[in-house]
Amino acid sequence: MRKWTLPLLPLIVLAGCTSVSKDECLQANWHGIGYKHGADGTEYRDGIDALSQCSEYGVSADIAEYKVGYDQGLAVYCEPENGFTLGMQGASYNGVCNSTAFRKAWQEGNDRYEVQQRLIYIDDRIDDIDRRLKDIRAELNSNQLDNSQQKALYRERKDLENERKDLRKERALLPLLNKLPSVEISTEW
């Protein structure tokens, strides 16, 4: 069974890179380090791997104290409001939160982020098309083109005008996507 979320935007899962400095190891504030890792959304195993670096400095980490801090920090990270904010910033979701509310909020924010990115792309592409159409008009008015060159420019102009028209239609519809809730569809393959 596969699950899809509409709009069809990928849920990117990336592992974070976590480290612990020599000073942090020597200070031995395992609760504080755990809290920071949890509040940053670091995966637990990545945090534990980072703590193993402390052995290089002759320090053994207090994993139990780290876990208490980590769980407290993770509770802050996994608030739905934070999920929405992370999604709106285009941050990837690494799967550390078990809360359905967090995942839905992240998806909603990420969907809005994707819409904004698409709007930026459309605006940039329309600007590029407008510049190229201006150049084509100048070339056609130059009277220095043979018949096949003119035909090629007319064809390019028509294609660009059609693309611009389609982009403008899409641009007009995209803000509506921000008002639609994400819908999860399950299909069996």
Would residue 25 count as lying in a domain? yes
Among residues 42, 73, 100, the one where a domain terminates is 100
- Among candidates 119, 99, 93, 107, which has minimal Cα distance to 7? 107
* 87 φψ region: left (φ > 0), alpha (ψ -120 to 50), beta (else): alpha
Tell whether 18 and 81 lie within a shared domain.
yes
Would residue 13 count as lying in a domain? yes
Would residue 111 count as lying in a domain? no
Tell whether 162 and 78 lie within a shared domain.
no
- CA 171 – CA 120 distance, rounded (Å): 10
Per residue in 106-115, pLDDT tens?
Answer: 999 999 999 9
Tell whether 93 and 153 lie within a shared domain.
no
Domain of residue 140: give its range. 116-187
Would residue 60 count as lying in a domain? yes
Tell whether 123 and 88 lie within a shared domain.
no
The mean pLDDT value for 154-161 works out to 98
Tell whether 120 and 158 lie within a shared domain.
yes
Tell whether 14 and 88 lie within a shared domain.
yes
Q: How many domains does the chain have?
A: 2
- CA 83 – CA 93 distance, rounded (Å): 8
Residues in a beta bridge with 5: 184
Tell whether 56 and 127 lie within a shared domain.
no
Tell whether 96 and 121 lie within a shared domain.
no
17 pLDDT higher than 70: no
Tell me phi and psi for residue 75, to 5 degrees.
-60, -35
Rounded to 10 degrees, the C-alpha dihedral 67/71/76/81 comes to 130
Among residues 66, 100, 134, the one where a domain terminates is 100
H-type alpha helices, the chain: 22-27, 30-39, 44-51, 63-77, 80-88, 100-141, 147-177
Would residue 107 count as lying in a domain? no
Tell whether 86 and 133 lie within a shared domain.
no
Tell whether 11 and 76 lie within a shared domain.
yes
Tell whether 132 and 85 lie within a shared domain.
no
Per residue in 90-134, pLDDT tens?
Answer: 999 889 999 999 999 999 999 999 999 999 999 999 999 999 999
Per residue in 18-47, pLDDT tens?
Answer: 677 888 888 888 899 999 999 999 999 988
